[in-house]
Chains A and B, each alone.
Chain A
């Protein structure tokens, strides 16, 4: 038995109309359909994690906590972290925009291993189901960082179930990363040398290298943790000669590079949008692409900055601090280069650009506050407080989620063949920018004043700033619900899109919107570099 899938107004002969049964979607190997399957899944998880966030901010309106049970609150922030990290931030851009756009941008017909791609989606779904089961059974109460011996010997929540879900999700990540690396090496269109690839591809390449090398370490760490929890003995238990710091080292060895997995694709998206909406080639292309590589490499060397007050040696803290400053340099270079791209351009203010500009502002704030945390003397005061919470939300949410929305709006016409309503798009970008700052800026101050993180209740002097933050969160929530509404609306009523509505460069714009299943009827041949916009003086003087 098969069901007919509602066609969202697809053009005749595109990947959307090529098979209309449920089976044709669930057994597809077309990277474009898999991207949409993923888009549905990560949207669901975004709202699960977002609901948890809403409840967290609701609880923190009063000092004694609006939610009576501290245990419930603890499980809420754990599920918020687990779902947002592993089921939204890490997959988001690579599995949706990456899956859809990478082959198109390369001039290829699909990824190197299409069946592996489908398998990675199924792994993701199974992982998600396991974590949701854990959630409905009551969730885990350890924080998303699972520090031992709390998580191995003392926690009363569903640690093993949660950890199994994350373990499976890890394999989904590895499969995706492997696919991208091989595809970028092997399936570039004739004439597309490495230096002719758009920055988005370099960013996803760097992201994928981190995914395949770091995720297996997480897998082993979670395995050892699960063993310890099930059998009651293990390598992280000091009573037996084990070491709880070993867990932290192993965990952060993965989790620090993982945050660059989250942000690098965002950098790639912004690097596509700024040139397109400045009508100008990107400034310092070689610097930007090698910065992505540098970030990927150095990201493996800084994990210890999560442990400056954890009981490690003084000497190691010094080494990790200097390396953490070094990893910030390539990101700073990117920001300067994006601004350099805008210089002497012809700037348009469509929604993707507004999101991208918001990204630059919010990411810069987040990145600068990272410098506070890398400074050892300051970190002692600021770590484990709301300062850290604000820092990572600025880069992850202000940065990464803005970049995701930027890319979603930018490539929406290509993916769906529809134009979203521009005014609503701009409104959404503005509401998110304002709501975000209102929510998270007060948290920097709260952190400096000493409010610890992961606290269900807090001393009364922190109340006003918390109320401000929660108020901002309601605006932010509205900002996130808005695109859900108008993007869905556009699927049915949006104006139909041409092949290249933004008049941007890039092979993905040389094929219809939405593309046919095979992407390109004949293999494109590349003869020039990316971002081949005419020089501004030519545009000005020759129209």
Chain B
């Protein structure tokens, strides 16, 4: 009798968690569909392969970075440094190719490694030095941007070989490579979050770090790994962005962390930790991308884009919390 109850309770708990994740994604997906339909009706050019591929290509670096950000947010942390780290990885990766003459794939790998290195510093600051993630990554936001200017002397870096453009501008068949990168990173991200120890621990640590530690999870190691992944993905994002424009830009990525956080939050990630999914973040990132795309297609004043995105963050999070509360009180 008692056994049956506990099983039922546990089953109900998991079901409730799944349901609640599903519902927050549903909200964002609903908004995405509404905007998609609206743009299809109002702009003749919106629903063309060219335009949609364009949107996907231009959003790739944001999506990749937002997936890393989601992982951090799930652990109840935050990574404010992703924009600066992306810029640092971008310019250093580009410099290894232009100045050191490294082959393109190695340069790209180098850029990702730089990002991972910055992430490692973030992670150690959080886990070993005991800094609050907000503070640790706020410092890195400044440090990484400063390093960008030191290394580049604040000048753009040109002179990349054409083969470097493949990552951001190439295509396989008819599909742009950045979109393939999105798909690959999203699938890996989904797998990591739902099927690996790291992913499950991330949720556990985000729900209750102390309890996770006491139950035997090596929290320091896993938490550090989460920041390393976020840094590495920021590095990959930086390399995609550099490849898109075939140059290293010291000013790239200003405010990009806000886009990444917004995408995660619109997609149902909670800043209190323990909640967030790759699918949700994908939806969130594309919601923002479609709004930007639509605003240009419909020639809406640039300033309104920011207002609209801000309002959508409010509505998405409010609706999400409202539904969760209702779900919890009904069960």
A, B co-complexed: no
